[in-house]
Structure 1
Amino acid sequence: MPHSTHRTDLQRRLPHPQEWLGLHRLPRSAADLILLGDLTGRYAVGSYSRTSSDGRTLTLRSDRQGAAEHGHRITAAIACHVARAGGTVDELTQLLLHPEHEGGRHARHLAMRSGQPRALDYLHRVWASASAAVHDSTRVESRHHAYEVLAALRDRIETTPWRGTRGRTALRVLRAHLNFAEIAGGPLHHASERQTAEEAGISRTTLRAVYELVLKPRGWLRRLRVGHGREGSTWYLDLDNRAYGMSFSPSRIRTTQFPPNLALEEWLTPETGAVADIDSTVIARLMGHDAFTHHGLGSSALMIIGALNLHPGQTVEELVGSSSVSRATAYRTLRRLALHGLVRQDCQTWALTPRALEGIGVPTRASRSTPDGAPALGWDALADDYGTAGVVARRKALHVAERAAYREVLERLTEHRSKAVVIVRDGRTVLVPAPRADEIPVSWHSPGGSVLDPATGRPAADWRVATDGRLILITPADQRSYDELAAAHAQAHSEWESAT
């Protein structure tokens, strides 16, 4: 039934859309989305496909599921615009149920199919989610403001304790995304899993575990759209997350140590202190090198180097808090770094040697505090000592091969290539090529859209090539001409689009 003939009492009382839009001064993009719908297909990307159970491949949704997901995304976007403009849920309902607003097609279809009470309940749920998202978000007004917000986020990252192996790996991943955000000029940025893994110096398996177990649950990072094809995923660094002061201690849950006895004054400097202070710029420059892979110096060395570069001359107790590592890890890491000439001890304090950070473009503050420090080995030499030289290059080569194989599959899907179909008619074999005009051999074409018989070279009376490149078989049971068949196909396609 057309929407114009199916109006409720609520819709009859609606004001003209321009009155409401002008009153609340919605942006032009929001007004176009409400009045005209998603003309550019911005909210359709990813709606008609989903990640399969293995988490690696994409499977197509049915047309009905894809249309429902597409409509829900449009509805949620409009709700966010209305909430940001100071509107109410009643005004949102009026906008979406207006029969002339293309952006409310999904809500009106739900009201028509399942009843208006269920549609109103759905709109209230969407409004609650949109209001919470708008309330917890920061409005970035300019490029300068975006860089200020990213700088504040970097300070928050550097003062948050990242404990345990998983926490330190999460810091590397988050710092990689911060690099991408600084290049993009705002918290909204695009990055694929392979790009992030190469930037952070870890494997894709570890990257996925950190995404799902640390960064997403803690609110640091949100994936707005899953990447597909040649486009990476769309990410958003959450500027107002509640992760500040969080503690990563999954490895301490099953510890065999007894708790401290306060009467005996054990653990004077608790390792669970929330004080952290590191230089994440140094970590970002070093984390992609072979020397800091899993079997090399590791993430604990990155944390120690980042803490000492920011504040030279720290004791082990101070490093436990500033670098968020345990006491045993701090002692073990300092001994390894001192063996390679990267740090030196002066009484009870530790500092970087003058040439510890040579070659990465970051001036070290330790050069002023320890002018007579021993020169450090090069980072490539350290990677050779640990047997990790070439790990980053091999990982990049693997990613290049995976990208090439993936793009080849995408190209085949884009061209709709399929295996040839062989049918037998009148005792002879007929080969039906793939449904693409550029894949049908030129020798099969003839003027007027007919198909040449490869055996005789004459036009086949019962085969035609449609405008979309597909072959149409005209059987004796169907007496319509080729033009009538093409027109019937176009009409059926239009009716189906209107229905869905």
Structure 2
Amino acid sequence: MARAGGTVGQLTQLLLHPEHEGGRHARNIALRSGQSRALDYIRRVWASASDAISTTIALSSRHEAYEVLAALRDRIETTPWRGERGRTALRVLRAHLNFAEIAGGPLHHASERQTAEEAGVSRTTLRVVYETVLRPRGWLRRLRVGHGREGSTWYLGDGTIPGHGDHALLSRFRSTRFPPDPALEEWTTPETATTADIDSTVLGQLMGHDAFTHHALGSAALVIISALHLRPDQTVAELVGTSSVSRATTYRTLKRLADHGLVQHTGETWTLAPRALEGFGIHLPDADNGHTAAPAQGWDKVAEHHGTSGIAARRKALHAAERAAYQEALDRLSEHRSRALVIVRDGRQVLVPVPRPDEIPPTWHAPDGRVLDPVTGHSAADWRVATDGRLILITPADQRSYDELAAAHAEALSEWESVA
């Protein structure tokens, strides 16, 4: 409605119309809390929708969507991701870009567990980079929190914030132990360049492997490998600029990769060894001390060498157990039904909602698992007690959704209050 040029008044008429399916929630609010609360809710929704269309792009075809994603990938690859947190944010953002490419546009669905497995990081680290890097810098926005079997709804941004520059949050990646001294011209320019140049496709393919966890080769190796794959034969000074990795970390990472035979240098330039992207190194004698570095025999062997083998598998197993426990809880909640008292007033039946309709006293429990009628003392044929001590209505006709049950309860509550 907002993108089509409608007004909040037209939206209100649609949502409050009794035959409009999309307005069920707004009508429930009006029924439970009054018309003014429903109008406030609609105005908040309209403001959110107006803000969303001002920061998103209307895509009329799948071809346009892929053009937008290609431009976004180029921007990601040329943006400097400084520090360990910045490189971790790059992995998470690349995971979301993978999901967006599958979905066919910036709007996509993904759960936190799914993204953590794709990026090769923990959920705790994932949430940190969401809140400190990606969301504040305009790279990612969560439009809807996931529930049940549905993941959250995300929208990929272009990394720009209205009224801020590209380096608005640069201080997050710099030490603040000693403040800068303008007289000494400190912190006027970063060590790394203002633009990067990496191949994020390579990064996206390797980042989920155990060999690139924090305690193994790490994110710095991922970025340096991606930079060398795009532009071979780079010096350390050039790598510092293209990978946005500090000089000291670049030297340490190159030595670690060289020990596995994954990179080689000729004079001052470095390049990837043959089959390095598959994790296979080569024998290269070290000119400094004469020893021969043990070549890698695949990414699995690299992970075993660093003691990180099996981390991804254990993370997936943990997430699978969490999903199963969560689904079991949802299944128990979906079984809950509330039983209301029915009275006859002026020749018509009125439902009386109880304060806690989902709880039953222990004296109502029958030995056969059914519910004892407190009036007659006999078991009710249409009711039984769930494993958590709550009522379940097993009548085949009770196939209403949660929204329908909530609307019926609100209607019963309003009718009871009017009768009382």
Scaled by the length of structure 1, the TM-score of the pair is: 0.61
Is residue 220–residue 238 contact of structure 1 (8 Å, CA) maintained in 2?
A: yes
Corresponding position: 1:465 with 2:384: no
Report the counterpart of residue 252 of structure 1 in structure 2: 174
Alignment CA distance shift 1:105-1:396 (3 Å): closer
Q: Which residue of 2 aligns with 1:335?
A: 255
1:431 to 2:365 alignment = yes
| CA spacing shift, 1:98–1:192, aligned 2, 3 Å | closer
Q: Does 1:231 align with 2:150?
A: yes
Show structure 1 runs of 5+ residues with no match.
1-80, 361-373, 424-429, 434-439, 446-450, 454-459, 472-488
C-alpha RMSD over aligned residues: 4.2
Amino acid at match of 2:77: E
1:385 to partner: Cα distance: 1.1
> Contact conserved, 2:192 with 2:240, CA < 8 A, in 1?
no
Written as runs of structure 1 = structure 2, the 5 A alignment for 1:244-393 is 245-246=166-167, 248-254=170-176, 270-358=190-278, 376-393=296-313
Q: Could you report, residue by residue, the CA deviation over 1:451-471 in whole angstroms, capped at 9, with x for unpaired residues? A: 799xxxxxx94546376x379
For structure 2, the 5+ residue unaligned runs are: 281-293, 338-357, 386-404
Equivalences for 1:205-216 in 2 at 5 Å? 205-216=124-135
1:60-459 to structure 2, matched below 5 A, reads 81=1, 83-87=2-6, 91-93=7-9, 96=12, 101-102=17-18, 103=23, 114=36, 129-239=48-158, 241-242=160-161, 245-246=166-167, 248-254=170-176, 270-358=190-278, 376-416=296-336, 421-423=361-363, 431-432=365-366, 441=369
Cα distance, 1:164 vs structure 2: 0.7
Deviation sequence 1:221-243 (CA, Å, 0-9, x none): 11122122222212121257449
Q: Does the 8 A contact of 1:292 with 1:299 survive in 2? A: yes
Q: Contact conserved, 2:224 with 2:243, CA < 8 A, in 1?
A: yes
- Is this contact kept in 1: 2:236–2:250, CA < 8 A? yes
- Contact persistence 2:196–2:244 (CA under 8 A): yes
Structure 2 counterpart of 1:431, one-letter code:
H
1:198-223: CA deviations, max 9, x gaps? 11111111111111111111111111
Hey, what's the Cα distance between the residues in 1 that align with 2:41 and 2:327? 39
| TM superposition shift of 1:245 | 3.7
1: CA distance, partners of 2:142 / 2:277:
34
- Number of residue pairs aligned between Structure 1 and Structure 2: 356
The 8 Å contact of residues 160 and 245 in structure 1, kept in 2 or not, is answered as no
Per mean C-alpha deviation after superposition, the further-off stretch among 399-408 and 94-103 is 94-103
Instruction: Decide whether aligned partners of structure 1 residues 399 and 492 sit closer, same or farther in structure 2, where only a CA change above 3 A counts.
Output: closer
The Cα of 1:358 is off from its aligned counterpart by: 2.4
Deviation at 1:389, TM superposition (A): 0.9
Cα 1:311–1:268 change in 2 (3 A) is farther
CA distance in 2, matches of 1:296, 1:491: 54
Return the structure number with greater relative CO, CA threshold 8 A, min gap 6.
Answer: 2
Q: 1:326 to 1:256 in 2, by over 3 A?
A: farther
C-alpha distance in structure 2 between counterparts of 1:303 and 1:492, whole Å: 56
Once the two structures are superposed, residues 299-336 of structure 1 have per-residue CA deviations (whole angstroms, 9 ceiling, x without a partner) of: 00001000010011111111111101111111111111
Is the 1:194–1:204 Cα contact (8 Å) retained in structure 2? Answer: yes
Structure 1 residues 306 and 490, CA, compared in 2 at 3 Å: closer, same or farther? closer
Could you say what secondary structure the match of 2:205 adopts?
Answer: helix
Contact 1:342–1:356 at 8 Å: present in 2 too? yes
- The residue identity in structure 1 corresponding to 2:127 is R
SS at match of 1:84: coil
- What percent of counterpart residues are identical? 62
How far is the alpha carbon of 1:422 from its aligned partner?
2.7
Distance 1:254 1:244 in 2: 20
Question: Quick one: structure 1 residues 139 and 320, their matched pair in 2 at CA, closer, same or farther if it must change by over 3 Å?
Answer: same
Secondary structure at the residue paired with 1:345?
strand
Check the 8 A contact 1:93/1:123 in 2, yes or no.
Answer: no
Provide the C-alpha distance between the structure 2 equivalents of 1:491 and 1:161, rounded to a whole number of angstroms: 52
Give distance in 2, aligned partners of 1:306 and 1:416.
Answer: 52
CA contact (8 A) 2:137 2:159 kept: no
Aligned AA (2:216): G
The DSSP-based 3-state class of the residue aligned with 2:276 is coil
Distance, in Å, in 2 between the alignment partners of 1:379 and 1:128 is 49
Distance 1:99 1:352 in 2: 60
In structure 2, give the amino acid aligned to 1:465.
A
* Structure 2 Cα separation of the partners of residues 286 and 99 of structure 1: 47
Q: Which moved more, 1:392-401 or 1:254-263?
A: 254-263
The one-letter code of the counterpart of 2:362 is: V
